[in-house]
Amino acid sequence: MIRQYELIERIKAYDPDVDEDLINRAYVYAMKMHGAQTRASGDLYFSHPLEVAGIMTEMKMDQAAVCTALLHDTVEDTLATLDEIKRLFGDEICRLVDGVTKLSRIEFQSAQEKQAENFRKLVLAMSSDIRVLLVKLADRLHNMRTLHHIDKPEKRKRIALETIEIYAPLAERIGIHRIKEELEDIAFGELNPEARESILTRLNFLRAEGGEAVVESIIGELKKKIGEAGIKSDILGREKTRYSIWKKMQRKNIAFEQLSDIMAFRVIVADIQECYHALGVIHGLYPTVPGRFKDYISLPKSNGYRSLHTTVIGPENHRIEIQIRTPEMHEEAELGVAAHWSYKEGGGKTDGRQYRWLRELMDIVEHAQKPEEFLENTKLELYQDQVFCFTPNGDLIALPRGATPIDFAYAVHSTLGDKTVGAKVNGRIIPLNTQLVNGDQVEITTSKSQTPSPNWERFVVTGKAKARIRRFVRQQQHEEYMNLGKAMLQKVLKQEGYDYNEKNFTSDFCHGFKTNNVDELLVGIGSGHISSREVFYTLHPDHRPKEPPQTIQSMIETAEKKTHQKGKSAPMPIKGLIPGMALHFARCCHPLPGDRIVGIVMTGKGVTIHTIDCETLESFADTPERWLDIAWEEGEDSPESHVGRLIVTIANTPGSLGTLSTVIGKNGGNITNLKIVNRSLDFWDMMIDVYVRDSKHLSDIIASMRATPEITAVNRARSR
Ligand code: MN
């Protein structure tokens, strides 16, 4: 176990200004909180956060990151609270500990490729600060180093799989090669011990064959030749990791036979110029293997990796891979992002090149944010436009930000969305319009009888959910019209003593009504565009009354003739009518613009318009097929006057009739007809027709009349 003073010494080596008191307090606090807890190995639990802190110092991380490593399991595994951590260690450390705690609560469960990528994104999305991710990687590294202490094989396998699928690629992505390789190698041993063993055996065989001596002589010769060109170099011969050999064997489907399959040489020289110079020397001495030269110095990898790569037929005819780099590039390759932490000489200013992958993702250009600013803020706000949620099985679903359980359900499966009645998030029932957050586990409750609600469209954000809900609503409307049309048609047929038989409605028959099939015909009837009676007459022409002519066309023609006779050709400002159909205003209720109205198709007379509350409508209750859903055109100012009919009761006193006509005249009304309906000793009941503009005009007149003492009662006529 690292001692308290050792930890401080390690940090001091790269940060002389470290707050020793802070580190000591975090050390003591974590030790106290974990107390007598032990690990699977039997060690004190505290040894784990301490080792993680040690790994952080190897990466030369700042004191906040080291403290976070010490404290990273206290909130999850001890009585410590975030509030306390904040009080004792400040905002920054509290935020970092919170980040690591949250990250540790999510568990990867699926081995699918796409799932793994989503999960890596989730981890990045949740690592609001890059130090959170680094602590998490160090945590995982130490857990992998001690993996063999865990008894349950399934648990070891799960952790190893998660490591190889998620954490090793993340370490690679931020360029921490050293951690990536170690994670992979341990996980590989757990997941495929036979493969690892066979590679080890082969490596040992090659070594025994004198491989080691060969490596030494290659290093010696390279060093000598490069030195002769006046370049000082360090040359390392390095066995490739078992996992990378394995992957290469899988990828190329080959067995490894040659030294070049297992060894790589690194030539480390002072600066970039010498990198190219050394490359020139090597290429001048040995034949190159075509297609193997890569210049990652002028074109770094997206994780910031820089080096020159080449393969040559080197000393003693061994095919060897050589990487040429500066010490700085070497450190970057091993430590990635961490290599650029702020304790480097010269204040750690970097040109930001190493963060290209981050920059690309964050689209810094768009946000006009400089790489330096990014480093200062240490923000890692990736995938901020997405949320990642889990199914109960542990599958990860990526959704746009603002997504709700309905979006989630549709993303899992269309039919799941359709049948959704409720949702549980992290075990709690929540409203369906709740916005999901990263890491939510969402359980959808369904019912067979449930159908998509049009209301959902107001809060869903995914295109899939929207399209599905809309389609359903349209389809439902269609079905309703169809059922209604069928009911109307059945009714007419029954009245006339026939049975409804769909076979009668051949496609030819349907074409006669400008529809393609029975369904469309029924929808036409249900939506009021086709008369069910007309369908009946077409089916049984002998039932059609002889006089007057009964086709819709002839109805229209008759009506048009009448209209022309009256000299009225201006179209009525009414919508919902069949074009060209003749119109009449009912004499019973005298509809006015502004009234709610319905049309009744009158045999041979076109359409008669009634107010919706007209008592006459009761007599059409049994023939719904004659009803037309119509309305006044809005904002249409009819130049014509309309007749409004009033039923008035006035006192039988001298001058009362004069008062009545004065009130109407003053309000711009014009009496066209007046009839005394009932006359008693004290009161007269009268029916008065008045020319008005619209229903509001008539209402104004009625209001004025009601304010007149002589007039006892006044109402609009609603019946014959
Ligand atoms: Mn831990």
- Domain edges within the chain: 4-101+131-174, 194-339, 471-564, 574-632, 642-716
The dotted CATH code for 4-101+131-174 is: 1.10.3210.10
- pTM of the entire predicted model: 0.54
**Residue found under tokens 């002769």:** 228
Per-residue model confidence (pLDDT) at position 685: 84
Q: How many helices (H) and strands (E) does the chain have?
A: 28, 20
**642-716 classified as CATH 3.30.70.260:** yes
C-alpha of residue 52 to centroid of ligand 1, in Å: 8
Instruction: Give the whole-angstrom CA distance, residue 103 versus residue 132.
Output: 8
Per-residue model confidence (pLDDT) at position 255: 63
C-alpha of residue 118 to centroid of ligand 1, in Å: 23
Question: Measured on CA atoms in the order 312, 317, 321, 323, is the torsion positive or negative?
Answer: negative
DSSP annotation of 379 reads: B
The mean predicted confidence, pLDDT, of the chain is: 80
C-alpha of residue 2 to centroid of ligand 1, in Å: 16
* Tokens of residue 175, six digits: 């360029």
> Residue 412: is it exposed, middle or buried by C-beta count within 10 angstroms (0-12/13-18/19+)?
middle
C-alpha of residue 84 to centroid of ligand 1, in Å: 19
> Residue 137: is it exposed, middle or buried by C-beta count within 10 angstroms (0-12/13-18/19+)?
buried
Task: Answer yes or no: 19 catalytic.
Answer: no
C-alpha of residue 307 to centroid of ligand 1, in Å: 34
Per-residue model confidence (pLDDT) at position 171: 84
* Tokens of residue 637, six digits: 């100012």
C-alpha of residue 80 to centroid of ligand 1, in Å: 15
* Tokens of residue 536, six digits: 């009946």
Catalytic residue, from 77, 221, 328, 560: name it.
77
Positions of the chain with pLDDT under 70: 107-115, 125, 128, 210-211, 252-261, 302-303, 336-385, 546-573, 578-581, 603-605, 634-640, 719-720
3-state secondary structure (DSSP) of residue 519: helix
Task: Answer yes or no: 457 catalytic.
Answer: no
C-alpha of residue 75 to centroid of ligand 1, in Å: 11
C-alpha of residue 11 to centroid of ligand 1, in Å: 21
- Do the Cβ atoms of 616 and 588 come closer than 8 Å? yes
The dotted CATH code for 194-339 is: 3.30.460.10
State yes or no: cis peptide before 548, omega within 30 of 0. yes
Question: Measured on CA atoms in the order 227, 231, 237, 243, is the torsion positive or negative?
Answer: negative
Per-residue model confidence (pLDDT) at position 253: 62
Residues in the chain: 720
**Residues 6+ positions from 299 with CB-CB distance below 8 Å:** none
Catalytic residue, from 76, 372, 479, 502: name it.
76
C-alpha of residue 94 to centroid of ligand 1, in Å: 16
Fold: same for 4-101+131-174 and 642-716:
no
**Residue found under tokens 């699977």:** 40
Instruction: Give the whole-angstrom CA distance, residue 353 versus residue 375.
Output: 12
**Residues 6+ positions from 592 with CB-CB distance below 8 Å:** 642, 644, 692, 694, 695, 697, 698
Per-residue model confidence (pLDDT) at position 364: 28
C-alpha of residue 661 to centroid of ligand 1, in Å: 95
